[in-house]
Structure 1
Amino acid sequence: MDAIKTYFPDLPADQLALFEQLDPLYREWNQKINVISRKDIDNLYLHHVLHSLAIAKVIKFMPGARVLDLGTGGGFPGIPLAILFPETEFVLIDGIRKKITVVNEVATALGLKNVQGFQQRAEERKGRSFDFVITRAVALMEKIVPWSMPLIHDKQLHALPNGIIALKGGNVKEELKALPRGTYSEIYPIKKMFSEEFFIEKSVVYVQY
């Protein structure tokens, strides 16, 4: 929690209280359904919550926006961002039912009215109804892009045009080379946002719709 308070010093008390509830909730659910490595649960805030919030250093989601978290796993990055942006609607999907069970139970326990979780693959969703697709460690960008682009609409609410925002590690430039010629993308190194060693080789990647 100290890192959250350091990098987001203006959070109101009600949002801080929700972030503080994440630790006991995920510990409880992790005993029933293993959605976070048991070795990693002690690093929940750094490796999962703060990592998710790196997206908020790139974009401030607007009230009324709709965001799809593709392959959310246990709810990252969607749930931390839903706490931070309570007037933005977040739809979290994953192909594994037990993970979506955790997502919906955590969201209910926190009273998050702006979160919906569905057991679903990106290919099963129809219609362009989202401003952004967000994702973390799901697949290579050459797969994420064709899964995501058919779901993003044209109406613009943000200074950053609608598109995909992915949390990635490793050699992101090589991944982006595999995208179709002319695809616009930007890389935001997380080490410029957060000083912890964990983030040295991690990035937020933006691909424009």
Structure 2
Amino acid sequence: MELIQKYFPDLLDQQIYQLYSLKKLYAYWNAYVNLISRKTFHNFYQQHVLFCLGIAKVFTFYPGSCVMDLGTGGGFPGIPLSIVFPHTEFILVDSISKKIKIVERIIYNLNIKNAYTICIRAEKLENKFDFVVCRAVAKISKIHNWIKNKFRCTSIHNNGALYLKGGDLSEELKKFPHAVEYPLINYFREPFFKTKKVVWISNI
């Protein structure tokens, strides 16, 4: 948790408490359902929480905007982002009901008021959003086909999608010449982030 406060020194006490409580909750629920790889759980704050909060280093969600976390799995990046952006609405979407049910419990236990869940395949979702966030659930081109009609046409923001990715993305981004890559090593000095990136693709 010290790692989070190192890079986000302006967090409020409630946000610190919620982020601090995350590891204990995930340790409990991970014994029942594999929300997070047990191989990486010992680096919970670095590889899961801080990685997801990389989005918060490169982008600010405006109060009142609505964000879909596509393929949220165990609640990442939606839960950490909903804590850091308490005035933005986050809809955590996944088709695996047992994971969504636990994510609901975690949201309830943390008293997060701006995060909600929907158990559905993303391509069948009829809701509209200002932004989409996603942590490497598929190739960007595939995800783009799922979400291209999911954006609010009346959004006052420059809406689009933010992807958490790793490695060389040159091939994957050939179809998206306007994509912007943000290497997270520019924000977080730990070696884990050497190949990690946030990719922003505007919907305009």
TM-score (norm 1): 0.93
Structure 1 match to 2:198? 204
* 2:164 is aligned with 1:164: no
CA distance in 2, matches of 1:170, 1:147: 23
Structure 2 match to 1:100? 100
Cα offset for 1:156?
3.9
Residue type at the aligned position of 2:161 = I
Cα offset for 1:20?
0.4
Structure 1 match to 2:140? 141
CA distance in 2, matches of 1:79, 1:68: 11
Structure 2 match to 1:89? 89
From the superposition, tell whether residues 157 and 60 of structure 1 become closer, same or farther in structure 2 (CA, over 3 Å): farther
Structure 2 match to 1:121? 121
Residue type at the aligned position of 1:162 = N
Cα offset for 1:178?
3.4
Cα offset for 1:143?
0.6
Structure 2 match to 1:38? 38
Structure 1 match to 2:179? 185
TM-score (norm 2): 0.96
Could you list the per-position Cα deviations for residues 29-66 of structure 1 after superposition, in whole angstroms to 9, with x for gaps in the alignment?
A: 00111111122211111000000000001111111100
Instruction: Count residues in correspondence.
Output: 203
User: Which runs of at least 4 in structure 1 moved beyond 3 Å after TM superposition?
Assistant: 155-158
Structure 1 match to 2:78? 78
CA distance in 2, matches of 1:12, 1:112: 14
Residue type at the aligned position of 2:10 = D
Q: Is the 8 A contact 1:68 1:93 kept in 2?
A: yes
CA distance in 2, matches of 1:13, 1:114: 17
Structure 1 match to 2:12? 12
Q: RMSD between aligned alpha carbons?
A: 1.2
Unpaired segments of 5 or more residues in structure 1? none
CA distance in 2, matches of 1:194, 1:55: 12
SS in 2 for 1:174: coil
